[in-house]
Amino acid sequence: MKKYIYLKTAHIFFILLLLQKFIMAGEPNNHPTDILYPADTIKGRAVKSESKKIAKTDSTQIKKISSKTILNILNGVDTTNRIVSWRLDSKSFNLEVVEGVDTSLFFPHLFIPTQKRLETITSLGNMGAPLQTDHFFNRNRNTPFLFSRYYSDYESGVSEHKQYHVKKPLTVLNYTMGGGSSEAEQTLRVLHTQNVNKYLNAGITYDYFGTKGMYKDQKAKDNFFSLFGSYYKNRFSFQGTFSYSRIRNQENGGLVDDYDIQDTTYNETTLIPFKLKGASSEVKQKSFSGIVGYNIINRWVKGRDSKGNQVLIKKTVFSVKAMFDANKNSRTYSDIDTSVYKNFYINKGITHDSVMLLTYESTILGEIDQLAKFPG
């Protein structure tokens, strides 16, 4: 009988011990322990150690950043800048960060954009006249319209037009004039752009190059106008530019004889004879370029915000883009004096020739983002 009671009691204690293990499982052991450090043995005082708390990051509590602007797309851009600018590379279809506004007035005496690359140029000697760079490998040979090839250095291509993202409305006005009143050269540049919100930007640019000419019949007036805009929000993106240019130049055909400049002195340059008397040319261009993109597949990637906090950022895995370009180019040449021409086809009393080129180009592409980094 005693043996049976002993076995029954031992069984109950064993069950209670197991229950204690399950009940107390997972609870932290916060019982204070007295640790006696060697430095404290002199004073015979025990120092209590501070318990360290290990914080575990819960992925469900990390802030997710899904809203995207152009600042999240551009690589290597300082988001604290008041002016951020970029342009589309027509070959790789990548967005390249460029300088917004040259506030340091870099070489202000160089007016033509080609001169900003520190390249010498060859021209007819007047502002707004046809020109080409002396750097052989930098000459523009990809101009679809042959007759506007030597005016292309005055402006950038419509598909590569500069876009902006600004924190406050930006207006730039630049005007220069040089020479006497009878032969003055003038340039004018106007830029205005502003953000409607952090996703949408719009702006206009206007450039003018003109001169009355040093010699007879050299008057030139070049006008370039552009209207541009961009919209980048979350999955959807768009940027486009519409441009219109009108270039008017008088044509004198060159000197009748080099003797009039090399071996003779004239009181006025207007007295020097030239081959053409009433000839002029006009080059026009209307262009539109736009690119639309949509992110189809996205993924969440861990990153850091501006304050150093860990966040989840939505990255694009696969996107689709569509690009459209339309250009209309024309050139008109007229002359009221036909004495210098040898061949006549329609009218011997007047010359009026014109040519036009109309082009359309559309491109659709898909982009897959690199998911992992590989060496090499």
Q: What is the pLDDT of residues 28-78, one digit of tens each?
A: 444 444 444 444 444 455 444 444 444 445 555 677 766 678 888 888 788
* Residue 318 lies inside a defined structural domain of this protein: yes
Q: How many whole angstroms separate alpha carbon 214 and alpha carbon 268?
A: 10
* Residue 260 lies inside a defined structural domain of this protein: yes
Specify the pLDDT at position 326.
95
Q: What does the angle CA 350 – CA 351 – CA 357 come to, to the nearest 5 degrees?
A: 150
Specify the pLDDT at position 372.
57
* Residue 29 lies inside a defined structural domain of this protein: no
- Please answer whether residues 85 and 70 qualify as being in contact, where contact means their C-beta atoms are separated by less than 8 angstroms: no
Specify the pLDDT at position 376.
43
Q: Which residue type is seen at 196?
A: V
Helix (H) or strand (E) holding 185: strand 185-195
Nearest by Cα to 222 from 87, 113, 117, 303: 113
The stretches in the chain having pLDDT less than 50 are 1-7, 19-43, 46-56, 375-376
* Residue 176 lies inside a defined structural domain of this protein: yes
Specify the pLDDT at position 11.
58
φ, ψ of residue 18 in degrees (nearest 5): -65, -40
- Please answer whether residues 118 and 127 qualify as being in contact, where contact means their C-beta atoms are separated by less than 8 angstroms: no
Q: How many whole angstroms separate alpha carbon 249 and alpha carbon 17?
A: 104
- Please answer whether residues 224 and 217 qualify as being in contact, where contact means their C-beta atoms are separated by less than 8 angstroms: no
Report the helix count and the strand count for the chain, using DSSP H and E.
Answer: 3, 16
- Please answer whether residues 186 and 211 qualify as being in contact, where contact means their C-beta atoms are separated by less than 8 angstroms: yes
Specify the pLDDT at position 240.
95
* Residue 166 lies inside a defined structural domain of this protein: yes
- Please answer whether residues 86 and 70 qualify as being in contact, where contact means their C-beta atoms are separated by less than 8 angstroms: yes
- Please answer whether residues 243 and 222 qualify as being in contact, where contact means their C-beta atoms are separated by less than 8 angstroms: no
**How are beta strands 220-233 and 200-211 bridged, if at all?**
antiparallel
Q: How many whole angstroms separate alpha carbon 253 and alpha carbon 251?
A: 6
Q: In the chain, which ranges are continuous DSSP H helix?
A: 2-24, 70-73, 259-262
The size of the chain, in residues, is: 376
- Please answer whether residues 92 and 75 qualify as being in contact, where contact means their C-beta atoms are separated by less than 8 angstroms: no
Q: What does the angle CA 68 – CA 69 – CA 71 come to, to the nearest 5 degrees?
A: 115
pLDDT digits (tens, 9 = 90+) for 162-205: 999 999 999 999 898 888 777 888 999 999 999 999 999 999 99
Domain housing 284: 71-368
Specify the pLDDT at position 334.
92
Q: Give the C-alpha distances (Å, rounded to integers) separating 329 from 97, 149, 220, 305.
A: 29, 11, 19, 48
* Residue 293 lies inside a defined structural domain of this protein: yes
**Residue 303, token pair as written in the block:** 């990153």
* Residue 6 lies inside a defined structural domain of this protein: no
Q: Residue 255 has what DSSP assignment?
A: B
**Residue 363, token pair as written in the block:** 């491109």
Q: How many domains does the chain have?
A: 1
* Residue 46 lies inside a defined structural domain of this protein: no
